[in-house]
Structure 1
C-alpha cells in the first residue's frame, strides 16, 4: 500500500490519508511483523541489473525489430515484443539472485499465467517488473519507453527504479529516503497559483466508453488533459514538476508501483476516487491520481469523483 496524499513540507514528511483503508486496521494484540529491510539490499547492484537488462535485451532491438518479433496480446494496441520477454527473463534471474527468497511479478509472466499475481499477497519480497513500459512507443521507434522495477513487501513499495535507456534517464526512489534522477534529488514542487494544470490521463485506445466519460470531467477550466504515453515516464514527469498530475483508470501493479513511490518520495501525493491509498495488490476504486502536491491531487480527485 502507498499512503494517500503524502506531502513534503519544510523538510518534514506529513502523511495525510484521505481515508484509512480497512487493511490498515490492526487488532491491539496483533504482533508487528517487520517489513523487509531494504537497507540490507545492494541498491547499486539492482540499478546495474536494470541497466544490463536494457543494454543486453532491449537497446540492441530498438528500431531493429522484425515483424515476427512483435505479437498482439489483447488487441492491436496491446503489443509484446521479443525484447519485452527477454528483458523480463533477464531481470527475473538477476533480481532473484540479488535477493534470495524473493519472487517476481512481471507483466509478461502474469499474461502467461495470472496466478503469478498471487505473490503480491504473499510473505516473500516481490520484484514488480515491467520490462518495456511503453511497448507501442518502442515498436514505433519512439524513445519514450522505460524499464520499471519496484521492490515490495506485504503491499508496501520499498524501492523503485525507472530507467529510460534511450533517453539516458535513471530515476531511483527509496521509501522514506527520497528520490533521485541521474543522482540528483528530485522535487515535484507545486504548480504556480492560477496555472492551468497539465494532466496525463489513460490513453483513449485503452479505455472503455464509461472510463472515457469519467476522464472527460478533467476537460474543464483550469485543467489541460492529454493522453498518456509510457505510464512510468509520466510519473517521472510529475516527480520532475514537468506535468502536474496523472489520472489513470487501470491498476496493473507493474505500471504504477515504481512511479507512485517515485512521486511520493519527490514530495508528491496520490489517492483514489474512494479517498483511499492505491493498493498494488489491486481492488482499487478507479480512476486514481498522482500529483505534484496535495492540493492538486484533491482537485483532480474531486473532478473525477463527481463524474464517477
Structure 2
C-alpha cells in the first residue's frame, strides 16, 4: 500500500484510518495465539501494535524528516528514545493500538492515537476509534472535533459532586471525601478522554505518565474547556515526568479532585 505524504491535519487522520483498516481491524477478534505477546507480565502487545506503529512512523518520518517520532513499542524496546523525545523541538507520539488488552479481549474500546508537539507543547492530536468509527481531532487554539463537529464540555455544576473513574484497580470503589466512589474506566486513554468530553464522567485518575497515552487526549480536553494536571497542581505537558494525572471537566473540578485525591494519587 503506497503511503500519502502527510502534511495537513486531515491527512494524518486519513493515514491513521488507512493503517487501521490494513493491519488492525482485520486482526480484531481474529488474533491467533502466536500474534499476542507479553512485553512484561500482564503487559500485552500484538502484531497489530507492531505493524501499525511501523507504518505510522514511516509515513510521519517521510513527511516530517526533521521531527522525532516516539512510538510506544519503540520506547518499550529502547527506553532511551524517551529522552530524545523530551528534548526534541518538533516531535510526534504514536500509540498504535491503545487499549491492547481490550483489543485482545474482543472489546471495541481501543484506538489509534497520534500527537504532534513543538517546543514541548502539544499542538495537534488525533484519536481514531476504528470499531466505533469515531474520529477525534484537535488543534491548539482551534477546538476539538468529533467526526467533524466541534465539541465543548459543560462544567460540573457547583451543587454536584463530580463523578470519577480510574484504570487503577486498587482505587476502584474508593470514595475521596464527599465525591462518589470511583468506578472503572474504559481502560483505554483513547476512549477515556473522549468519554469525559462527552460528559459520561467528570474526572479520570491515572497513575502512569506516558506521552503517547496522554498528549493527544490532554490537548482535546483543554480545547473542550477542561483541565489536565498533576497532584502537585502543575499543568500537564508531554514533557512532564510527574507521576499521577488528574483529567477534569473544568479547572474547578480539577482543584476539587486534587484537594481530596491528590495526595493519595501522588503516592501511587
> Fold-level match, TM-score > 0.5?
yes
Aligned to 2:33: 67
Aligned to 1:129: 94
Structure-to-structure mapping, 1:50-199, within 5 angstroms: 50-76=16-42, 78-199=43-164
Q: Residue 255 of structure 1 is aligned with which of 190, 195, 213?
A: 213
Higher relative contact order (CA 8 A, sep 6+): 1
Aligned to 1:234: 192
**How far has the Cα of 1:95 moved from its partner?**
1.5
Distance 1:306 1:42 in 2: 41
**Unmatched segments (≥5 aa) in structure 2:** 1-5
The answer on whether the counterparts of 1:177 and 1:265 sit within 8 Å (CA) in structure 2 is yes
The CA deviation string for residues 264-285 of structure 1, in whole angstroms up to 9 with x for no partner, is 011111211111112322421x
**Mean alpha-carbon deviation: is it higher for 264-273 or for 112-121?**
112-121
**Bigger Rg over Cα:** 1
The answer on whether the counterparts of 1:163 and 1:171 sit within 8 Å (CA) in structure 2 is yes
Q: How many residues align?
A: 259
CA-atom RMSD in angstroms: 1.9
- Report SS of the residue matched to 1:224: coil
- Report SS of the residue matched to 1:278: coil
**Unmatched segments (≥5 aa) in structure 1:** 1-39, 205-211
Q: Residue 202 of structure 1 is aligned with which of 141, 161, 167?
A: 167
The answer on whether the counterparts of 2:138 and 2:223 sit within 8 Å (CA) in structure 1 is yes
The answer on whether the counterparts of 1:103 and 1:126 sit within 8 Å (CA) in structure 2 is yes
Aligned to 1:290: 247
Distance 1:59 1:219 in 2: 39
Distance 2:33 2:176 in 1: 38
Q: TM-score, normalised by structure 1?
A: 0.79
Residue 224 of structure 2 is aligned to residue 266 of structure 1: yes
**Structure 1 residues 306, 112: CA separation in 2 closer, same or farther (over 3 Å shift)?**
closer
**How far has the Cα of 1:237 moved from its partner?**
0.9
The answer on whether the counterparts of 2:173 and 2:181 sit within 8 Å (CA) in structure 1 is no
Distance 2:47 2:90 in 1: 27
